[in-house]
Structure 1
Amino acid sequence: MTPSLTRNTGLGMAAALTGALAPAEASAHVKWFAPYIVDAAPAPITRTLTDPWFWTGIVLVLAFFIATRLVERTTTGEATLDAMDRATNPLWLRLDDFVRIVVAGFFVAIFSVGGIYLTPDLKTPAEWVSWLQLLIAAGIVSRKTMPLSAAGIIFLWVLALRDYDPFHLLDYLALGVAVAAYLVLESSNREDWRKHRFEVLRWGVAIALMWSSLEKFAYPEWFYPLVAEKPFLTFGIPRDMFIPMAGVAEFTMGFGLLATPLVRRLSALALLVIFITAVYPFGRVDLIGHALIMAIIIVIAVDHTRELHFWSWIRRALIGVPIGLTGALLIFVTAYWGLHAVFYGTDTQTMAEIRAEQGDMATHSYSSEHPHGPQVMATMRDGEEVPQTAPADLGDASVADAYAQSMMGMHEEMMAGLEHEDPDVAFVLGMIPHHQGAIDMARIQLAAGSDPENMQLARHIIAEQQQEIDAMRAWLDERGVEVPDS
């Protein structure tokens, strides 16, 4: 996550870069596992409220939180916190250095990856963005320039909000604002401000987790391709049981980060285990995308602070556990469903309705009003737009003939593009038909193949290759080069 900053500092830099805020062609917002239909209406909340697995998860979490609070009130709880303090004391004494190193390292990492804003999910063809990220990393070295780095982070989030779907970026935004706020508070000479620096990080991660967890209730269908591709993620639990309980776990652990010291530290440790175990199956780029949230979770686990600054009486009371969780659910559910209606209206179809009409791959289908991912570029068939994810129409042709025809078309367009006098342009003009050829082959596989692994590979190729085609077409467009038809 996304998981990933002050508005009034660095005005000079912001003014110098104001021109970059001019409207540009919006890109698709792509979650890390699949492109999806962003304007689909969330499933009715009654679907969740009538799900027994949702309530099973809620009961289990409430029991854990209440039991932990009971232990926390005893000498055993105090001893447990003291032991955690002793074990983490070396890092606690250098915790600000740890945060600054991780934040600076994160921006160096995304500078090295290139072509992204503040997470690998948010791509951009603008090369200057990477150099700004390097400047942000350099600014964190000194407390005097940390507010400028914070302003740079906010500026990049503004660009991301401009280019991508804002509603589905709110979970990312909470984390970005929290990191920016930390940099400002840490650089402040006012101790009454600085004492809240770790707290803003905690709130940022908690809000991001609670907001993003609602996708599992509002759009469980988005997770179906992921579960199908990586079935080990469910530990053998049936899909429709696993997804709502996973949503409960994510929301409640985010809520737990705002609770009393023992609850929040145990919640942080549980989250850290989950994020660490995700590194191997999803790879190093996913680790980069989650680096900030993982670092903040470590900060929460290490934080020795036991003072509660907001609503301390209700957070310490046992009755505060069900009241607080109920209040958080009401606030976030109302905001999520309400803001979606504000952004997209109330007459959109739910994912269940779309899938009933279009089939199981509707999470990847084309939306002309709200483009949403690398698989949305359409071809024309009989004058109508057809999503690239659709299997190829082989007609009476054999599979071999279909493959041969796709390769012949690719070869002719590649050679024509490579004749351009500018070697950079020639490379891009040659690569676009090369990638399109791979997409055409993948669509033939979807039409004629049957092996589940190959079918999944074909969908992956379509997604990745189309995303790169989009980036190359945007590069040509920026340079005034005629963009070839898809």
Structure 2
Amino acid sequence: MALPIEGQNMFAVRHRSRGRFSLVTGLAIWQAIQATSVQAHVKWFAPYIVGAPPAPVSLTLSNEWFWLGIGFVVVFFAVARAFERSRFGDPTLDLVDKMTAPLWNRLDDYLRAIIAAFFVAIFAVGGVYLTPDLKTPAEWVSWLQLVIAAMIFSRMTMPAAGLGIVALWIMALRDYDLFHLLDYLTLGLGVAAYLVLEPSKQENWRVHRLEALRWGLAIALMWSSLEKFAYPGWFYPLVVEKPFLTFGLPRDVFIPMAGVTEFTLGLGLVWTPLIRRLSALALLVIFTAAVWPFGRVDLIGHGLIMAVLLAVAADQSRTTHFLPKFKTKLRHIPAGIAFAFLLYGSAYWGLHLALYGPDAYIGPATTEKATHSHSREYPHGPQQRDVGTPSAID
């Protein structure tokens, strides 16, 4: 039986809406697949030398796979933004709001519990500053992180917990290079800012607590993604040990495209509302998928990031605070992505040059400079043993 005209129109509208949303979702899933294999923090699982000279920028700019990745990203941003500003955009955001309302209504309780749980997990691991990568023999550091976790449960002591996070990062400077610690600076500052702002009675300040957390995570992801262009060799051991991670693609094809994906999804966290939420969901899929091949260390290290991404996906704010007029226009998307790469790339290569000079360390990884030890069976795993002590594998 034929539908009435009104029914046909309604069916057509729903069909177009589902089709456009499916295209947006499909592009987000493609982005997630492209970055999954190397989303695990390479410094936790493979040898590295922070002072080694990075690959020249010209190698990235002449890489066709880098530009192919950029092309896919521009399409993803453009389609998502076009859908967002169409008549289907607001209903879609309303639907996502309804689905995430239980989390949104208790978001601060959720974030406080997650942050506290993260510091309890770091305490349980023991012998690290803030992350599995930053090892320390000082036992008091672990106990300080347990104290930070305890302080989060009272709004009176939450600001002190935030300051404690900053203090731990500063203390780590005694043992690690500044350039290395920049990987963890903005996320730490974002979490610290949240803990300071959340109990504030000044609502004009408190309202920015989630934005500070989101920006801290976005900058951290964009910064760390540049390792895939500056030091692609760091990722080669992981590809050799776990070849399934590249989905059959050659490593020199996969790594630059994964770097583009990670960088731009990080940038997406500070774009317009729909792009923010799609980027957060795609990144959440990526980090969750990385837990299976990389195990408990990856889950502990990235657990806080995954929790914040879920909070970003549940964020019902429809406001874009930074450069809102620029971000809402489709024609500005390529320029925005290009400027972000220029800004962060200049900072990354420029700071490395300023800190280490043109005569940076060149040579094989040594026990003193590498974080992880090795064996023939697990050459790049998180297991540690003294280099001079034979293992059962040897």
Q: Normalising by structure 1, report the TM-score.
A: 0.69
Equivalent position amino acid for 1:50 in 2: S
1:210 paired with 2:130, answer no
What residue number does 2:352 align with?
340
Q: Does the 8 Å contact 2:133/2:371 carry over to 1?
A: no
Deviations 1:182-212 (A, max 9, x none): 0011011111111111101111111011000
Q: Which residue of 1 aligns with 2:384?
A: 464
Q: Tell me the alpha carbon deviations over residues 153-188 of structure 1, each in whole angstroms, 9 at most, x when there is no partner.
A: 111111122211220221211111100000011011
In the TM superposition, residue 37 of structure 1 has moved relative to its aligned partner by 1.9
Q: 2:370 aligns with which of 353, 369, 372?
A: 372
Match of 1:157 in 2: 169
1:134 maps to which residue? 146
For residue 99 of structure 2, the aligned residue among 87, 104, 116 is: 87
SS in 1 for 2:319: coil
Q: 1:468 to 1:311 in 2, by over 3 A?
A: farther
Give the conservation status (yes or no) of the 8 Å contact 1:110–1:118.
yes
- Aligned residue for 1:316? 328
How has the CA–CA distance of structure 1 residues 341 and 106 changed in structure 2, closer, same or farther, with 3 Å as cutoff?
same
- Which of these two proteins has the greater Rg computed from alpha carbons? 1
**Does 2:65 match 1:73?**
no
SS of equivalent to 1:120 = coil
Match of 1:222 among 187, 209, 234: 234
Structural mapping, 1:107-186, within 5 Å: 107-186=119-198
2:108 counterpart of 1:96: yes
Deviations 1:86-126 (CA, angstroms, capped at 9, x unpaired)? 00001000000000000011111111111111011111111
Identity of aligned residues (%): 60
1:7-406 paired onto structure 2 within 5 Å? 31-348=43-360, 362=364, 365-366=365-366, 371-375=369-373
Q: How many angstroms does 1:309 deviate by?
A: 1.5
Structure 1 residues 358-407: Cα deviation after superposition (integer angstroms, max 9, x where no partner): xxxx4xx2387xx33345xxxxxxxxxxxxx7xxxxxxxxxxxxxxxxxx
The one-character-per-residue Cα deviations of 1:401-426 (angstroms, maximum 9, x if unpaired) are xxxxxxxxxxxxxxxxxxxxxxxxxx
CA distance in 2 between counterparts of 1:245 and 1:98 reads: 34
The CA deviation at 1:274 is 0.5
Indicate the SS of the match to 1:162.
Answer: coil
Distance 1:367 1:133 in 2: 27
Contact 1:256 1:267 in 2 (8 A): yes
Q: Deviations over 1:438-476 (max 9, x none)?
A: xxxx5xxxxxxxxxxxx343x35897213898xxxxxxx
**Which residue pairs with 1:397 in the alignment?**
none
CA contact (8 A) 1:2 1:119 kept: no
Q: Is the contact between residue 2 and residue 172 of structure 1 (CA under 8 Å) also seen in structure 2?
A: no
Runs of 4+ in 1 over 2 A off after TM superposition: 347-350, 365-368, 371-375, 459-463, 466-469
Which blocks of at least 5 consecutive residues in structure 2 are unaligned?
Answer: 1-38, 390-394
Paired AA for residue 370 in structure 2: H
Compared with structure 1, are the counterparts of its residues 462 and 2 closer, same or farther at alpha carbon in structure 2 (3 Å cutoff)? closer
Q: What is the match of residue 8 of structure 2?
A: none
Structure 1 residue identity aligned to 2:147: L
8 Å contact kept, 1:257–1:263: yes
Task: Work out the CA distance in 2 between the residues paired with 1:323 and 1:218.
Answer: 22
Provide the secondary structure at the position in 2 that maps to 1:163. Answer: coil
Cα distance, 1:467–1:123 mapped onto 2, change above 3 Å = farther
Q: Per-residue deviation at 1:319?
A: 2.1
* Greater relative contact order (Cα < 8 A, sep 6+): 2
What is the CA–CA distance in structure 2 between the aligned matches of 1:122 and 1:468, rounded to whole Å? 22
Give the SS at the match of 2:351.
Answer: helix
- Is the Cα contact below 8 Å between 1:374 and 1:466 reproduced in 2? no
SS at match of 1:372: coil
1:320 deviates by: 2.4
Distance in 1, Cα, partners of 2:104 & 2:381: 45
Q: Is the 8 A contact 2:237 2:380 kept in 1?
A: no
Deviation at 1:213? Answer: 0.5
Residue 33 and residue 176 in structure 1: after superposition, are their counterparts in 2 closer, same or farther (change >3 A)?
same
| Distance in 1, Cα, partners of 2:332 & 2:381 | 49
Ranges in structure 1 where 5+ consecutive residues have no aligned partner: 4-29, 355-361, 376-388, 390-441, 443-454, 470-486
Is contact 2:40-2:287 (8 Å) kept? no
Aligned partner letter, 2:226: L
Contact 1:110 1:288 in 2 (8 A): yes
SS in 2 for 1:34: coil
User: In structure 1, what is the Cα distance between the partners aligned to 2:318 and 2:239?
Assistant: 39
CA distance in 2, matches of 1:340, 1:148: 32
Q: In 2, Cα distance between the equivalents of 1:293 and 1:136? A: 18
Q: Taking structure 1 as reference, are residues 34 and 466 closer, same or farther at Cα in structure 2, changes over 3 Å only?
A: farther
Matched letter for residue 465 of structure 1: R
